[in-house]
Amino acid sequence: MGLLTGKTALIFGVANDHSIAWGIAQAFHREGATLGFSYAGEKLERRVRPLAESLGSTFVEPCDVGQDDDIAAVVEKTRAAFGEIDILVHSIAFAGRDDLAGPYYSVSRAGFALAMDISVYSFTALAKAYLPIMKPGGAMLTMTYLGSVRAVQHYNVMGVAKAALEASVRYLALDLGTHAKKIRVNSISAGPIRTLAVAGIAGSRQMITEFAKASLLRRNITIEDVGNAAAYLCSDLAGGVTGEIHYVDAGYNVAGFPSPDEAA
Protein backbone atom coordinates (compact mmCIF):
# COMPACT_ATOMS: atom_id res chain seq x y z
CA MET A 1 0.00 0.00 0.00
CA GLY A 2 1.29 3.44 -0.93
CA LEU A 3 0.55 6.63 1.01
CA LEU A 4 -1.93 7.67 -1.69
CA THR A 5 -3.39 4.33 -2.76
CA GLY A 6 -7.05 4.76 -3.70
CA LYS A 7 -6.75 8.54 -4.11
CA THR A 8 -7.18 10.58 -7.29
CA ALA A 9 -5.14 13.75 -7.84
CA LEU A 10 -5.49 16.52 -10.43
CA ILE A 11 -2.17 18.22 -11.10
CA PHE A 12 -1.91 21.69 -12.69
CA GLY A 13 1.49 23.01 -13.79
CA VAL A 14 3.53 20.36 -15.60
CA ALA A 15 5.34 22.10 -18.47
CA ASN A 16 8.18 19.58 -18.87
CA ASP A 17 10.18 17.00 -16.92
CA HIS A 18 11.96 19.74 -14.95
CA SER A 19 8.70 21.14 -13.54
CA ILE A 20 8.09 20.89 -9.81
CA ALA A 21 4.63 19.54 -10.70
CA TRP A 22 6.35 16.64 -12.47
CA GLY A 23 8.31 15.79 -9.29
CA ILE A 24 4.99 15.81 -7.44
CA ALA A 25 3.32 13.63 -10.08
CA GLN A 26 6.10 11.05 -9.91
CA ALA A 27 5.93 10.85 -6.10
CA PHE A 28 2.12 10.60 -6.17
CA HIS A 29 2.31 7.81 -8.76
CA ARG A 30 4.88 5.92 -6.70
CA GLU A 31 2.56 6.22 -3.69
CA GLY A 32 -0.34 4.70 -5.61
CA ALA A 33 -2.43 7.72 -6.69
CA THR A 34 -4.47 7.86 -9.91
CA LEU A 35 -3.45 11.04 -11.77
CA GLY A 36 -4.98 13.60 -14.09
CA PHE A 37 -3.06 16.50 -15.64
CA SER A 38 -3.94 19.98 -16.83
CA TYR A 39 -1.54 22.12 -18.82
CA ALA A 40 -1.45 25.77 -19.89
CA GLY A 41 -1.98 25.69 -23.64
CA GLU A 42 -2.03 23.58 -26.79
CA LYS A 43 1.69 24.08 -27.42
CA LEU A 44 2.58 22.18 -24.26
CA GLU A 45 0.47 19.11 -25.03
CA ARG A 46 3.21 17.30 -26.95
CA ARG A 47 5.46 17.53 -23.88
CA VAL A 48 2.86 16.83 -21.18
CA ARG A 49 0.92 13.95 -22.78
CA PRO A 50 3.86 11.52 -23.05
CA LEU A 51 4.89 12.33 -19.47
CA ALA A 52 1.34 11.68 -18.24
CA GLU A 53 1.15 8.45 -20.22
CA SER A 54 4.42 7.26 -18.67
CA LEU A 55 2.57 7.34 -15.32
CA GLY A 56 -0.49 5.56 -16.73
CA SER A 57 -2.63 8.69 -17.08
CA THR A 58 -4.74 9.52 -20.12
CA PHE A 59 -6.45 12.54 -18.54
CA VAL A 60 -4.46 15.43 -20.08
CA GLU A 61 -6.57 18.55 -20.57
CA PRO A 62 -5.72 22.17 -21.40
CA CYS A 63 -6.69 25.04 -19.08
CA ASP A 64 -5.48 28.63 -19.10
CA VAL A 65 -6.16 29.48 -15.46
CA GLY A 66 -6.62 33.12 -16.48
CA GLN A 67 -9.89 32.09 -18.19
CA ASP A 68 -12.98 31.22 -16.14
CA ASP A 69 -14.47 29.27 -19.06
CA ASP A 70 -11.35 27.10 -19.27
CA ILE A 71 -11.54 26.37 -15.55
CA ALA A 72 -15.23 25.46 -15.76
CA ALA A 73 -14.53 23.18 -18.73
CA VAL A 74 -11.67 21.29 -17.08
CA VAL A 75 -13.72 20.76 -13.91
CA GLU A 76 -16.53 19.25 -16.00
CA LYS A 77 -14.06 16.97 -17.80
CA THR A 78 -12.62 15.96 -14.43
CA ARG A 79 -16.09 15.11 -13.14
CA ALA A 80 -16.82 13.07 -16.26
CA ALA A 81 -13.54 11.14 -16.00
CA PHE A 82 -13.19 10.59 -12.25
CA GLY A 83 -16.41 11.65 -10.51
CA GLU A 84 -14.83 13.12 -7.39
CA ILE A 85 -11.15 13.77 -6.67
CA ASP A 86 -9.13 13.68 -3.44
CA ILE A 87 -6.24 16.02 -4.23
CA LEU A 88 -5.79 19.27 -6.19
CA VAL A 89 -2.25 20.50 -6.91
CA HIS A 90 -1.65 24.08 -8.15
CA SER A 91 1.95 24.53 -9.33
CA ILE A 92 1.51 27.63 -11.47
CA ALA A 93 2.96 31.13 -11.54
CA PHE A 94 3.53 33.80 -14.15
CA ALA A 95 4.97 37.31 -14.37
CA GLY A 96 6.36 39.23 -17.32
CA ARG A 97 10.13 38.83 -17.79
CA ASP A 98 10.61 42.63 -17.52
CA ASP A 99 9.05 42.51 -14.07
CA LEU A 100 11.58 39.92 -12.84
CA ALA A 101 14.62 42.16 -13.37
CA GLY A 102 15.62 45.63 -12.22
CA PRO A 103 13.84 47.40 -9.36
CA TYR A 104 10.50 46.17 -8.01
CA TYR A 105 8.94 49.64 -8.24
CA SER A 106 9.22 49.66 -12.04
CA VAL A 107 6.38 47.13 -12.31
CA SER A 108 3.43 48.40 -14.33
CA ARG A 109 -0.18 48.27 -13.17
CA ALA A 110 -0.87 45.68 -15.88
CA GLY A 111 2.19 43.59 -14.96
CA PHE A 112 1.20 43.63 -11.30
CA ALA A 113 -2.38 42.59 -12.12
CA LEU A 114 -1.22 39.77 -14.42
CA ALA A 115 1.16 38.31 -11.81
CA MET A 116 -1.55 38.43 -9.15
CA ASP A 117 -4.19 36.92 -11.46
CA ILE A 118 -2.19 33.93 -12.70
CA SER A 119 -0.04 33.30 -9.61
CA VAL A 120 -2.54 34.04 -6.81
CA TYR A 121 -6.18 34.31 -7.86
CA SER A 122 -5.97 31.14 -9.96
CA PHE A 123 -5.50 28.99 -6.84
CA THR A 124 -8.61 30.47 -5.25
CA ALA A 125 -10.51 30.10 -8.53
CA LEU A 126 -9.51 26.43 -8.84
CA ALA A 127 -10.36 25.78 -5.18
CA LYS A 128 -13.85 27.25 -5.67
CA ALA A 129 -14.44 25.41 -8.94
CA TYR A 130 -13.20 22.02 -7.64
CA LEU A 131 -14.89 22.15 -4.23
CA PRO A 132 -18.13 20.54 -5.51
CA ILE A 133 -16.19 17.50 -6.75
CA MET A 134 -13.68 17.22 -3.88
CA LYS A 135 -14.09 14.15 -1.70
CA PRO A 136 -14.55 14.85 2.03
CA GLY A 137 -11.17 14.88 3.76
CA GLY A 138 -9.37 15.89 0.56
CA ALA A 139 -6.31 18.10 0.22
CA MET A 140 -5.21 21.08 -1.86
CA LEU A 141 -1.62 22.20 -2.34
CA THR A 142 0.14 25.18 -3.93
CA MET A 143 3.77 26.22 -4.39
CA THR A 144 5.42 29.28 -2.88
CA TYR A 145 8.89 30.75 -2.28
CA LEU A 146 10.80 32.62 0.43
CA GLY A 147 10.54 35.85 -1.61
CA SER A 148 7.11 36.21 0.05
CA VAL A 149 8.65 37.05 3.43
CA ARG A 150 12.14 38.29 2.45
CA ALA A 151 13.20 40.84 -0.14
CA VAL A 152 14.94 38.75 -2.81
CA GLN A 153 16.58 40.76 -5.57
CA HIS A 154 14.77 40.44 -8.92
CA TYR A 155 11.96 38.29 -7.49
CA ASN A 156 10.03 41.56 -7.27
CA VAL A 157 6.32 41.35 -8.05
CA MET A 158 6.42 37.57 -7.71
CA GLY A 159 7.43 38.00 -4.06
CA VAL A 160 4.39 40.21 -3.52
CA ALA A 161 2.27 37.62 -5.32
CA LYS A 162 3.64 34.78 -3.16
CA ALA A 163 2.84 36.77 0.00
CA ALA A 164 -0.75 37.05 -1.23
CA LEU A 165 -0.77 33.37 -2.20
CA GLU A 166 0.33 32.37 1.31
CA ALA A 167 -2.45 34.54 2.79
CA SER A 168 -4.88 32.83 0.38
CA VAL A 169 -3.73 29.45 1.72
CA ARG A 170 -4.72 30.50 5.26
CA TYR A 171 -8.11 31.87 4.20
CA LEU A 172 -8.87 28.84 2.04
CA ALA A 173 -7.79 26.56 4.91
CA LEU A 174 -10.30 28.39 7.14
CA ASP A 175 -13.12 28.27 4.57
CA LEU A 176 -12.60 24.66 3.54
CA GLY A 177 -11.62 23.38 6.98
CA THR A 178 -14.88 24.61 8.44
CA HIS A 179 -16.81 23.38 5.40
CA ALA A 180 -18.66 20.08 5.82
CA LYS A 181 -16.08 18.42 3.54
CA LYS A 182 -13.13 19.34 5.82
CA ILE A 183 -10.63 19.91 3.02
CA ARG A 184 -7.03 20.71 4.03
CA VAL A 185 -5.11 23.46 2.20
CA ASN A 186 -1.32 23.79 2.39
CA SER A 187 1.65 25.16 0.51
CA ILE A 188 5.26 24.14 0.02
CA SER A 189 7.92 26.84 0.02
CA ALA A 190 10.65 25.30 -2.12
CA GLY A 191 14.26 26.34 -2.42
CA PRO A 192 15.31 27.47 -5.91
CA ILE A 193 15.27 24.78 -8.60
CA ARG A 194 16.25 25.29 -12.23
CA THR A 195 12.92 25.19 -14.10
CA LEU A 196 11.38 27.16 -16.96
CA ALA A 197 9.72 29.58 -14.54
CA VAL A 198 12.98 30.27 -12.70
CA ALA A 199 14.92 30.82 -15.92
CA GLY A 200 12.85 33.98 -16.37
CA ILE A 201 14.23 35.56 -13.17
CA ALA A 202 17.34 37.71 -13.62
CA GLY A 203 20.37 36.25 -11.79
CA SER A 204 18.65 32.94 -10.99
CA ARG A 205 21.69 30.85 -11.91
CA GLN A 206 23.84 32.62 -9.32
CA MET A 207 21.01 32.45 -6.78
CA ILE A 208 20.91 28.66 -7.11
CA THR A 209 24.70 28.36 -6.72
CA GLU A 210 24.79 30.59 -3.63
CA PHE A 211 21.79 28.80 -2.11
CA ALA A 212 23.69 25.50 -1.93
CA LYS A 213 26.53 27.20 -0.03
CA ALA A 214 24.23 28.82 2.54
CA SER A 215 21.58 26.12 3.16
CA LEU A 216 22.01 24.04 6.32
CA LEU A 217 22.30 20.83 4.29
CA ARG A 218 24.78 22.53 1.90
CA ARG A 219 22.91 21.37 -1.15
CA ASN A 220 20.26 22.37 -3.64
CA ILE A 221 16.68 21.19 -3.67
CA THR A 222 15.34 18.73 -6.26
CA ILE A 223 11.86 18.19 -7.64
CA GLU A 224 12.02 14.78 -5.92
CA ASP A 225 12.45 16.51 -2.53
CA VAL A 226 9.36 18.59 -3.22
CA GLY A 227 7.39 15.63 -4.57
CA ASN A 228 8.05 13.56 -1.45
CA ALA A 229 6.93 16.38 0.87
CA ALA A 230 3.85 16.92 -1.30
CA ALA A 231 2.95 13.22 -1.04
CA TYR A 232 3.05 13.48 2.76
CA LEU A 233 1.05 16.74 2.88
CA CYS A 234 -1.65 15.35 0.60
CA SER A 235 -1.84 11.99 2.39
CA ASP A 236 -3.79 11.02 5.49
CA LEU A 237 -0.51 11.13 7.44
CA ALA A 238 -0.91 14.93 7.39
CA GLY A 239 -4.57 14.74 8.44
CA GLY A 240 -3.98 17.31 11.21
CA VAL A 241 -2.03 19.76 9.04
CA THR A 242 -3.71 22.69 7.25
CA GLY A 243 -3.02 26.35 6.44
CA GLU A 244 0.74 25.67 6.54
CA ILE A 245 3.69 27.04 4.61
CA HIS A 246 5.95 23.97 4.68
CA TYR A 247 9.56 24.79 3.80
CA VAL A 248 11.42 22.30 1.59
CA ASP A 249 14.63 24.28 1.35
CA ALA A 250 17.40 22.30 3.08
CA GLY A 251 16.99 24.65 6.05
CA TYR A 252 17.91 27.82 4.16
CA ASN A 253 15.12 29.89 5.74
CA VAL A 254 16.36 29.24 9.29
CA ALA A 255 20.06 29.79 8.60
CA GLY A 256 21.71 32.65 10.49
CA PHE A 257 24.98 34.27 9.47
CA PRO A 258 26.42 32.21 6.60
CA SER A 259 29.19 30.14 8.20
CA PRO A 260 32.10 28.71 6.23
CA ASP A 261 32.29 24.92 6.30
CA GLU A 262 34.57 23.72 9.06
CA ALA A 263 37.10 20.97 8.42
CA ALA A 264 35.84 17.70 9.85
Residue 45 interacting with ligand NAD (CB under 6 A): no
Residue 93 interacting with ligand NAD (CB under 6 A): yes
Ranges assigned E (strand) in 99-203: 134-144, 184-190
Q: 228, 141, 148, 149: which is closest to 176 by C-alpha?
A: 141
Binding residue (CB under 6 A) for ligand NAD from 94, 104, 112, 232: 94
Q: Which residues of 159-183 are buried (b: 16+ CB within 10 A; e: fewer)?
A: bbbbebbbebbeebbeebeeeeeeb
Residue 140 interacting with ligand NAD (CB under 6 A): no
Instruction: Name residues contacting ligand NAD, limited to 176-235 (CB under 6 A).
Output: 190, 192-193, 195-198
How far, in Å, are 209, 252, 253, 254, 261 from residue 214 at the CA level? Answer: 9, 7, 10, 10, 10
Per CB under 6 A, the segment of 27-35, 142-150, 177-185, 227-235 that binds ligand NAD is 142-150
Minimum CB separation of residue 30 from ligand NAD in Å reads 19
Residue 169 interacting with ligand NAD (CB under 6 A): no
Minimum CB separation of residue 78 from ligand NAD in Å reads 15
Residue 17 interacting with ligand NAD (CB under 6 A): no
Give CA–CA dist 152/204, Å, rounded.
11
Residue 157 interacting with ligand NAD (CB under 6 A): no
Minimum CB separation of residue 201 from ligand NAD in Å reads 9
- What angle in degrees, to the nearest 10, is found between the helix axes of 223-233 and 20-30? 50
Give CA–CA dist 186/89, Å, rounded.
10
- Contacts with ligand NAD, residue ranges (CB under 6 A): 13-15, 19-21, 40, 44, 64-66, 91-94, 118, 143-145, 190, 192-193, 195-198
